[in-house]
Amino acid sequence: MPPLGTINNPKGRGKGTPNKVTQELRERLKTLLTDSFETIVSDFEALEPVQRIAAFEKLLRYIIPIMSANDVKLNFEDLTENQLDEIITRLISNE
């Protein structure tokens, strides 16, 4: 095993350099999608509404980042009486 920080193949691809095969495949897919866009839209519109929504949802993942759930931990013992009253008032008014 080489020492830490040693490069096994000094003539290899440098860090951050895109993989040639991956780059070529992306270009081919981009061309395919561009050339077939009208057919894709037509096929999309021909889907049943439930299928269309499912497909749309899957495509959105590539456009809008998925939000993660945030765990909110609230220690009621650290709150003042006024803060607790405020929380209760807001909860009741939102029902």
Which pLDDT band, with edges at 50, 70 and 90, does 51 fall under? very high
Task: Write out the residue range of the structural domain in which residue 36 sits.
Answer: 19-66
On whether residue 89 sits in a domain, the answer given is: no
In a domain, 91, yes or no: no
Q: Which two tokens stand for residue 77?
A: 């013992």
- How far is the C-alpha of 48 from the C-alpha of 32, rounded, in Å? 24
User: How many domains are contained in the chain?
Assistant: 1
Instruction: Report which residue type is found at 32.
Output: L
Give percent above pLDDT 70 in the chain.
84
In a domain, residue 8? The reply is: no
Q: How many CA atoms lie within 13 A of 35 on its CB side?
A: 6
Per-residue pLDDT tens for 6-16?
A: 666 667 767 77
Determine, yes or no, domain membership for 49.
yes
Asked if residue 53 belongs to a domain, the reply is yes
